Amino acid sequence: MRAQRSYLLGTVFSLSILSILGCSNPYPPVVATLNKSAALPGNLPSNPLQDRVITSWIDKQHGTMSTLFGNDIAVQYARTSQQQDYPIGSTLSLVTWTQQEDPRWFGARIPAKVKSVEYVIVKAGADHRTSYTYESYEGTPLKQTLEQQAPTPTPQAQYLISQRAAVMP
């Protein structure tokens, strides 16, 4: 099917006249390109793409896809524990993109624009007790829309903490 032989050459040999019927293809050729629209513009406390993947999910109703990242401490914990008790020093970050059709594979959707970036940072408070910071960033460029700190995770922070790691044997 994808033989490299030129069909054209052979036909030109016998019937060169037909080659002038060549028409342009309605589909642009595939070229190597970055998905720049999905980059994370703005001043973020850290670049989640520098961390490692914990898991991901798709929100059909909102047409978004999210990847949950963790720093070394968080990833190590997520991949070895079924509990939801991330140790101090853990940073989780969630990037949520709107989806676009994959221009190269009908049957797939890939990240389009970043909708939000959220963080859960587990720290030791002044009284040495665990404290949970939740931050969210939205817009283009991304700007902070929320920052909460409490001894217990807020419901949205709890939602991120409660996601179990995707199996990566």
Our CB check for another protein shows the closer of 120 and 142 to be 142
Our CB check for another protein shows the closer of 19 and 149 to be 19
49: Cα separation from own chain's centroid? 8
CA atoms within 13 A on the CB side of 79: 16
Q: Measured from the CB of residue 100, what is the shortest distance to another protein in angstroms?
A: 10
Measured from the Cβ of residue 143, the count of other Cβ atoms closer than 10 Å reads 11
Our CB check for another protein shows the closer of 84 and 123 to be 84
Our CB check for another protein shows the closer of 101 and 147 to be 101
Measured from the Cβ of residue 161, the count of other Cβ atoms closer than 10 Å reads 21
With CA atoms as reference, report the closest residue to 149 among 128, 126, 121.
Answer: 121
Q: Measured from the CB of residue 87, what is the shortest distance to another protein in angstroms?
A: 16
Q: Measured from the CB of residue 111, what is the shortest distance to another protein in angstroms?
A: 6
* 2 three-state secondary structure: coil
Q: Measured from the CB of residue 52, what is the shortest distance to another protein in angstroms?
A: 6
